[in-house]
């Protein structure tokens, strides 16, 4: 399967704007941006993403909780997910992977390499 549609959950509008440019213009992906975990749960079924990209720290429902809730919907039980966070110590990365993420991208991210980072994680996960 080719990676085309990414559900991006991020509460900061300035980061959303940078990621939209990085992923749509540089990466060529179709992006659905949600500002909260609740919004992601509502938007995901109609958008049917190939990948879920989640900020870890969000008010209300954080990234790990959002992923846990998405995983309870049959359609997203095995959809690849990537967390984005400033907390990228090895123990923290291991924890996010234990929650079912295929990888973790450090924030602040480089807009010019973000789509390549996502593509590499996607391809690694696809190879199994």
Q: Say how far apart CA 71 and CA 84 lie, in whole Å.
A: 18
Range 50-68 average pLDDT: 97
Domain CATH code at residue 68 = 3.40.50.2300
State which residues form the domain around 57: 5-123
pLDDT for 1 beyond 90: no
The dihedral through the CA atoms of 31, 26, 105, 86 has a sign that is: negative
Alpha helices in the chain (DSSP H): 13-20, 37-47, 63-71, 90-98, 114-127
- Look at the chain and report how many structural domains it folds into: 1
In whole angstroms, what is the distance from residue 78 CA to residue 100 CA? 9
Residue 128 lies in a domain: no
Does the pLDDT at position 7 exceed 80?
A: yes
In a domain, 61, yes or no: yes
- The residues pairing with 70 across neighbouring beta strands, listed in sequence order, are none
**31 DSSP assignment:** E
Taking residues 94-109, what's their average pLDDT?
Answer: 95
């Amino acid at each position: 399967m080719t990676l085309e549609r990414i559900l991006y959950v991020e509460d900061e509008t300035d980061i959303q704007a940078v990621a939209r440019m990085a992923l749509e213009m540089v990466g060529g992906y179709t992006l659905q941006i949600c500002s909260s975990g609740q919004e992601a749960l509502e938007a995901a079924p109609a958008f049917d993403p190939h990948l879920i990209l989640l900020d870890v720290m969000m008010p209300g429902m954080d990234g790990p909780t959002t992923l846990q809730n998405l995983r309870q919907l049959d359609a997203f039980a095995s959809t690849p997910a990537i967390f984005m966070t400033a907390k990228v110590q090895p123990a923290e990365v291991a924890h996010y992977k234990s929650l079912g993420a295929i990888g973790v991208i450090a924030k602040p991210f480089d807009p010019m390499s973000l789509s390549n980072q996502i593509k590499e994680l996607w391809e690694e996960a696809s190879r199994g």
